[in-house]
Amino acid sequence: MINIQQFTFNPYQENTYVLYDETGECVIIDPGMYDAGEQNTLVNWIRKNELKPVLLLNTHCHLDHVFGNKFVFDNWSLKPQFHLGELPVLQSIPGYAPQMGLQYELSPEPEVYLEETGAISFGNSTLELIFAPGHSPAHLCFYAREDDFVIGGDVLFHNSIGRTDLPGGNHAQLLNSIREKLFVLADSVKVYPGHGPFTNIGYERQNNPFLK
């Protein structure tokens, strides 16, 4: 069984997730730690719970979702894994972060890239890959079929959807991704998004104003 720990970090109030199971192995998804206090919050919680980080995953590579990539690499020697189509998004950050008054420690680049389909494993657990572009060019969601949840990044939110006005965004493509990749999941599937509270597929299918 996969357990989920959520942290909310950085000026964008981004949700960082740690997934772990009974083996003690854990996955860090979208580390958004911006300052030393947030870094300490994450590392102290992992140490307190005696977990072993074995994977660093990014749903996509917008600034707020990768602030902590270098910190994770420095502490656990984990390079991020994401879809190759997000690499230009990651590489563009040093060009715009200073203009926004934000400090950014350069993320390492992957040695392993994730595909549009397939699965990744840790401990006794498996996460299926769901390719859902639109908010960003090659956005991935991570679906835990046996545990009935998806880590959705910035695709689908409670009563909302991801913004599409950033470079590489495409509104029609995002709506298509949600309808064809997420709304095919069971109503009961919980969605843990990159910002804000969790929701579920059934509620959003019935009530999301952007998808009616």
Render 149-188 in DSSP notation, one character per residue: EEEEETSEETTEE----STT--HHHHHHHIIIIITTS-TT
Q: What domains can you pick out in the chain, each with its CATH number? A: 3-207 (3.60.15.10)
- pLDDT value at position 167? 86
- pLDDT value at position 137? 98
Instruction: Please identify which residue in the block is written with the tokens 């952007």.
Output: 210
**Assigned token pair, 58:** 């990014």
* Of the candidates 157, 150, 146, 133, the residue with the CA atom closest to the CA atom of residue 184: 150
- pLDDT value at position 110? 98
* Of the candidates 87, 68, 180, the residue with the CA atom closest to the CA atom of residue 134: 180
- pLDDT value at position 120? 98
Nearest-angstrom CA–CA distance, 211 and 204? 8
Instruction: Please identify which residue in the block is written with the tokens 């298509």.
Output: 176
- pLDDT value at position 108? 98
Rounded mean pLDDT for each run of 10 residues along the chain, 212 residues in total: 98 98 98 98 98 98 98 98 98 95 97 98 98 98 98 98 94 98 98 98 98 90
Strands (E), the chain: 3-9, 14-20, 25-29, 52-57, 80-81, 119-122, 125-131, 140-144, 149-153, 156-157, 160-161, 190-193, 199-200
